[in-house]
């Protein structure tokens, strides 16, 4: 739960979004609140934009940012103004401060976000556009959005962001995508330039920029479908991978829900944890893998699929599970037959959480049959056959059957 303190008197904290047009873009109330504030927090750019209005103390953001949060909270009950870029609650400082200050103590005066400004310049209906912030975040986060015909507006970290995006598009088969760089939106320095990603050669890019992408896919482009059970060939693996059909059934059994955490024990290639996270941006996963080589492969796969924040723990269960955040769901794909692993998973799982375990070997199947008899739940037998050449004709070749146990903690 957010760490929000109880209300303390009137609205002492004012968060004001300011654009590149500075005071000219602010209303009368925002101007007045800045002028009377004893303390005005913000970045150097914000202070420069609002300089004609600031009469109180200018306090710049500190590193780490938590030090500035503490400084703001120490002034609780006295007027404080925080300057932010555009809409403070869209990937902004407002979201951070709301974890510490109750809504009753705050007032917010927002300006148009960079996304809104970019969409208005391009004539793109914002509800039809994928918006993503790459400011201080891995560029790989854009990968799940790369579909032919998709329009994307991405906020970057600095002047290198557009070139980095162009390189990613070119190396993943989307080099013919149109890339438009919109710089210093809303101010005197505003500029808009377009190019094809594979031919990116824009120089002197303003550090304050957003990129608008119109995605075009070339032959062999890495397109990630929205359905569960992605093609095995998209994953880097050494054979230790839950095959696509089994993976789709397993994800269905795990039933991802908003903001939940999955433990993927014996992660192999990381395919289950990766697809869990792709189901919704709010989902989190921890991959536990004893092999250093496979653990490194999980991390590479996570980046390639656009979920680089998947956590990887190198170690052997059950010992490696100690101290990990409490999970909402657990998948056992490997190592489940080791002594103590299922007991540790059951103990760690939240009430109402789901445990799904797959068995291919007779030994692991025997463990699951025992657990089912002891704890209940459901057992499912999954058998897949694929058509393959047999001489000059075709026939069905069965894959190894999988026994799946699903249990919900009461």
pLDDT in tens, 332-351: 987 777 889 999 999 999 99
DSSP 8-state secondary structure symbol assigned to residue 24: G
Residue 229, φ and ψ in degrees, nearest 5: 85, 55
Locate 372 and state its tokens.
């089912």
Average pLDDT over residues 136-156: 97
- Confidence at 4, pLDDT banded by 50, 70, 90: low
Contact 185, 207 (CB under 8 A): no
pLDDT in tens, 41-77: 999 999 999 999 999 999 999 999 999 999 999 999 9
DSSP 26-89: S-HHHHHHHHH-SEEEE-HHHHHHHTTT--SEEEEPPSSTHHHHHHHHTTTTS-EEEEEES-TT
Q: What percent of the chain has pLDDT over 70?
A: 98
DSSP 8-state secondary structure symbol assigned to residue 25: G
- Confidence at 146, pLDDT banded by 50, 70, 90: very high
Sheet holding 284-289, edge to edge: 311-314, 284-289, 261-265, 329-332, 354-359, 402-408, 378-382
Q: What is the pLDDT of residue 1?
A: 44
Q: Helices 271-278 and 292-304 sit at what angle, rounded to 10 degrees?
A: 30
CA–CA distance, 7 with 103 (Å, rounded to integer)? 8
pLDDT exceeds 80 at position 134: yes
pLDDT exceeds 50 at position 259: yes
Contact 322, 257 (CB under 8 A): no
CB-count burial class (<10 Å; 0-12, 13-18, 19+) for 373: exposed
Of the given ranges (89-103, 297-311, 331-345), which has the lowest mean pLDDT?
Answer: 331-345
- Confidence at 227, pLDDT banded by 50, 70, 90: very high
Locate 150 and state its tokens.
């998709």
Helices (H) and strands (E) in the chain, counts: 11, 19
Q: What is the pLDDT of residue 336?
A: 76
Closest Cα to residue 93, out of 76, 77, 81, 78? 81
Average pLDDT over residues 153-160: 97
Match 């808009």 to its residue by tokens.
192
Q: What is the pLDDT of residue 3?
A: 52
First to last CA, the chain: 22
Q: What is the pLDDT of residue 402?
A: 96
CA–CA distance, 56 with 52 (Å, rounded to integer)? 11
pLDDT in tens, 308-328: 999 999 999 999 999 999 999
Mean pLDDT for all residues in the chain: 95
pLDDT exceeds 60 at position 161: yes
Domains of the chain: 13-111 (3.40.1010.10), 115-214 (3.30.950.10), 232-408 (3.40.50.150)
Sheet holding 106-109, edge to edge: 57-60, 39-42, 80-85, 13-18, 106-109
pLDDT in tens, 169-207: 999 999 999 999 999 999 999 999 999 999 999 999 999
pLDDT in tens, 379-410: 999 999 999 999 899 999 999 999 999 999 99
**Buried b vs exposed e over 104-130: b needs ≥16 C-beta within 10 Å?**
ebbebbbbbbbbbbbbebbebeeeebb
User: Which three-class secondary structure state does DSSP give residue 233?
Assistant: helix
């Amino acid at each position: 739960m957010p760490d929000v303190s109880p209300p303390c008197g009137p609205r002492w904290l004012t968060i004001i979004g300011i654009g590149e047009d500075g005071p000219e873009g602010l209303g009368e109330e925002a101007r007045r609140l800045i002028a009377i504030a004893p303390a005005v927090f913000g970045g150097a750019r914000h202070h420069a934009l609002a300089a004609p209005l600031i009469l109180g103390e200018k306090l710049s953001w500190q590193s780490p940012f938590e030090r500035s949060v503490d400084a703001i909270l120490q002034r609780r009950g006295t007027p404080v103004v925080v300057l932010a870029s555009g809409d403070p609650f869209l990937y902004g400082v407002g979201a951070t401060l709301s974890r510490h200050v109750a809504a009753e103590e705050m007032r917010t005066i927002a300006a148009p976000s960079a996304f809104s400004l970019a969409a208005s310049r391009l004539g793109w209906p914002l509800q039809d556009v994928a918006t993503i912030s790459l400011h201080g975040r891995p560029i790989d986060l854009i990968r799940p959005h790369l579909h032919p015909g998709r329009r994307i507006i991405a906020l970057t970290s600095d002047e290198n962001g557009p070139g980095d995006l162009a390189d990613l598009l070119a190396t993943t088969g989307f080099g013919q995508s149109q890339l438009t760089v919109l710089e210093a939106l809303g101010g005197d320095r505003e500029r808009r330039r377009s190019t094809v990603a594979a031919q990116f050669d824009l120089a002197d890019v303003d550090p304050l920029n957003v990129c608008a992408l119109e995605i075009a896919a070339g032959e062999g482009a890495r397109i990630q479908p929205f359905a569960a059970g992605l093609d095995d060939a998209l994953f880097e693996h050494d054979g230790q991978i839950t095959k696509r059909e089994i993976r789709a059934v397993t994800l269905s059994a795990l039933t991802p829900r908003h903001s939940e955490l999955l433990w993927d024990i014996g992660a192999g290639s990381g395919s289950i944890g990766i697809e869990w996270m792709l189901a919704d941006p709010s989902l989190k996963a921890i991959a536990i893998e004893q092999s250093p080589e496979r653990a490194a492969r999980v991390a590479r796969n996570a980046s390639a699929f656009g979920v680089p924040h998947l956590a990887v723990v190198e170690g052997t269960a059950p010992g490696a599970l100690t101290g990990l955040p409490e999970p909402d769901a657990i998948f056992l794909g490997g190592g489940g037959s080791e002594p103590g692993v299922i007991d540790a998973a059951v103990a760690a799982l939240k009430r109402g959480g789901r445990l799904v375990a797959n068995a291919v070997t007779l030994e692991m199947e025997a463990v699951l049959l025992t657990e089912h008899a002891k704890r209940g739940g459901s057992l499912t037998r999954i058998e897949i056959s694929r058509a393959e050449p047999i001489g000059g004709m075709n026939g069905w070749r069965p894959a190894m059957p999988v026994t799946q146990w699903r249990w919900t903690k009461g």
